[in-house]
A = this chain, B = another copy of it.
């Protein structure tokens, strides 16, 4: 709201968030400097404090936005499990700044109510695909397996840990890898212990 009619700077809050996304893309979330954000936005070094309190406050807002955007992407991908998984990986690669903040609890206020709500919304979107697919009798474990393989691939990709031969296209590689996950597991009993 309230366009970018800059006077008292206009919408400094949004400007700082955008600058933060850029900076995170460049140097990662931990090397992020509030004073650098202030410089990028052309304001004094203490301006960010007023809007976010401290660094954790800013990153909490980013994480919240990230979970909401992820939920959107998953919903848009539809109910096909493989497509949703590819969408998950694609989100991580295309919005790595968001993704890297979302899963680092030490970076934000984990008990923030808005963050918790957004995370929950993303969780619902995540599980809906698995539930629709039917899968095995244990939907919890099924969705957890799907989440794990997509999250693992995305994380390894972002960490640059994957070998060269995986290729340059994350969507293509993700599709081939995620296809290895079958909803109906082989009939190995869980063997509780």
Contact = CB atoms under 8 A, between A and B. Distances in A.
A141 B180 contact: yes
A147 interface: yes
B162 A144 contact: yes
A61 to B, nearest CB: 18
Given A106-B31, A175-B190, A190-B179, A156 B160 contact: no
B149 A155 contact: no
A105 B159 contact: yes
Contact of A180 (B31, B173, B181): B181
Contact of A181 (B30, B110, B149): B149
Interface string A115-155: 00001000100000000000010101110110111111111
18 contacts: A103-B155, A104-B159, A105-B159, A110-B160, A141-B176, A141-B180, A144-B153, A144-B177, A145-B180, A148-B149, A148-B153, A149-B181, A151-B155, A175-B191, A176-B190, A179-B186, A180-B181, A180-B185
Interface of A: 27-28, 30-31, 82, 103-106, 110, 119, 123, 136, 138, 140-142, 144-145, 147-156, 159-163, 165-166, 172-173, 175-183, 185-186, 188, 190-193
